[in-house]
Structure 1
Amino acid sequence: MLVPLTRQKFEQLIPRIATSDQYKYYWGKFPDFLKRLLISVVSVVVIWILRLVLGEGSSLLLFPLGAIAGLYWLWGPVLWASLRNVEYRKYPYSGFLRGRVLDVYITEELIGTEETVNNKGDLVIVENRERRLNIEVGDETEFFTEIQVPLRRTHQDIVPNQIAEMVVLSTQPDLSSIAKVTDIYIPSRNIWVSDYPYLQKNVFTEVSRRLRESREPRSRQAPRRRPRASYPQDVEEW
């Protein structure tokens, strides 16, 4: 099932400014924080030197710049997450896709190398590998996508044939060609599969719930009429 989304709903799902999950993603680990802190310190020092060279008259301009640069360690994740969101928001058309898990398997991927010296003084290259989850999703229209993400403990509950939902992006109004996909959501297990958390989870799960309800037959207690599935009539609702 593929349901087109309005631009308004899409911008709620992938906001322009970083969400809390996206901020946490780019906050990273302690080495990432140290890198940002080092950039902040170096920037402040450079601005301070510029103030000494240019004189007191430059303080009005350089002081705000120094304050902004000094706090880069704090607002840097907002910047990088927002820029990543912009890359997805540039696509003019989007849709809500519900398919099924076709296959799921684990691989070990090379994520980097390090050079070190052993006890004999020889140069040794150490490979850093990471276990990753590969998940394939498709639907009855022959849509197919595969994403690879770092393996998490919750991924052990993902099995083939489970319902899988996501947002797809396209440059075509009829969504005939899919350019990008977002996080994969497994509603039966409440599991999110992604490397980067593109979606506002609460907004997405609400859209998912409303679409599920729209496909359910009306209550049997209703007047005797032929039961039929109820679909959203006004695309603006989505």
Structure 2
Amino acid sequence: MSDALLGALAVVSAIALASIVVAADLAGQPPRRRRPPNTRCPRSIGVGTVQMVAGSDDPVIVIEVESVAGQRFTGRLCHSADDEVLSALRPGVIVLVSFDPASRKQLTLADDAIAVRATADRTLLRHGVLTHDQLDLIRFGTHSCGVVTGMRTTGREREALREVELDVMVTRPGGGQFPAQEITLVPEAALDKVSPGSIIDTYYLPADESAIAVCVPPA
């Protein structure tokens, strides 16, 4: 799985948005409609990249998928002709898809929030993008924001991701601030979003302000 894709997954996990299209720029994409009740519900979830959108009235949408187990295959998205999410799909867009392991060629957009987040969490941990401690802070900590007061690159990198050490002044939701440091992976194209003066999403435990987790979306 590419590190650019892992960066996008980190954002999906952090904000737990399971039923929207996750584009590379994370621009506001329209929410998808829920699957019609008579449609068979696949049991597995994967991360897909749109390869082709052909046609206008009833477009053929081809997606390359990587499953949690690392298997790669290509399938077609099942959809209704008037599904409003279609306007957001174009080659290169990253989507979370559901599929039946016995019939992997037929895909639907994932709409199970718990399963999607669990899939994203396992993938991020397996690839080392997030640690267990960072994931716990994101899932169970207080969501706030912080101002970057310092940023240093460590020299470690993974293709499209760069490791940085951040000094952050975190705002407490109830008032006040506290300083913190965090080492994290950031998409190379988003390094300007962690430059001094930038405002970023932060997560921490009120009982222990010595550790934080940050969330930086791809550029």
Q: Which of the two has greater helix per residue?
A: 1
The verdict on a shared fold, with TM-score over 0.5 as the criterion, is no
Find the structure with the greater CA-based Rg.
1
Structure with bigger strand share is 2
Q: TM-score range by the shorter chain?
A: 0.3 to 0.5
